[in-house]
């Protein structure tokens, strides 16, 4: 995939996540700085989501671990554990007692 295509797909994913957090109505704060989303819950726990240009992946860092997602067959997919980006974020939010809708 060419760099500009990856950038467009990754930026759309970050914007989608950011909007879902804004719409979730929970005690969650989201700050975006360039290619990085820092998500903080009211208990102090954080999730970091960022675009990793060199590997053409979206990386997620949470207390439960780090996850790397590459665009494959129309979804952000992890080769390590076969998870999908948005499903993983829903799980991570649920672990913090929050609900996020990522259609």
- Residue 29 CA to residue 53 CA, distance in Å, equals 25
- Residue 52 CA to residue 43 CA, distance in Å, equals 27
| Residue reference for tokens 């829903």 | 90
pLDDT score at 27: 80
- Please list the residues that pair with 28 across neighbouring strands: 41
Residue 23 CA, chain-centre distance (Å), reads: 15
Q: What is the mean pLDDT of the chain?
A: 92
pLDDT score at 92: 94
CATH 3.30.70.360 for domain 3-94: no
Predicted confidence band of residue 94 (pLDDT cuts 50, 70, 90) = very high
* pLDDT 10s digits, 5-29: 999 999 999 999 999 988 877 788 8
- Residue 54 CA to residue 93 CA, distance in Å, equals 27
């Amino acid at each position: 995939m060419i760099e500009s295509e990856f950038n467009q797909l990754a930026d759309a994913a970050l914007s989608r996540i950011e909007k879902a957090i804004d719409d979730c109505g929970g005690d969650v704060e989201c700050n975006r700085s360039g290619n990085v989303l820092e998500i903080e819950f009211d208990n102090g726990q954080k999730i970091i989501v960022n675009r990793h240009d060199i590997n053409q992946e979206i990386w997620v860092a949470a207390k439960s671990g780090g996850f790397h997602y590459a665009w494959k067959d129309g979804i952000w997919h992890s080769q390590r554990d076969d998870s999908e980006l948005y499903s993983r974020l829903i799980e991570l939010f649920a672990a913090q007692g929050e609900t996020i809708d990522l259609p």
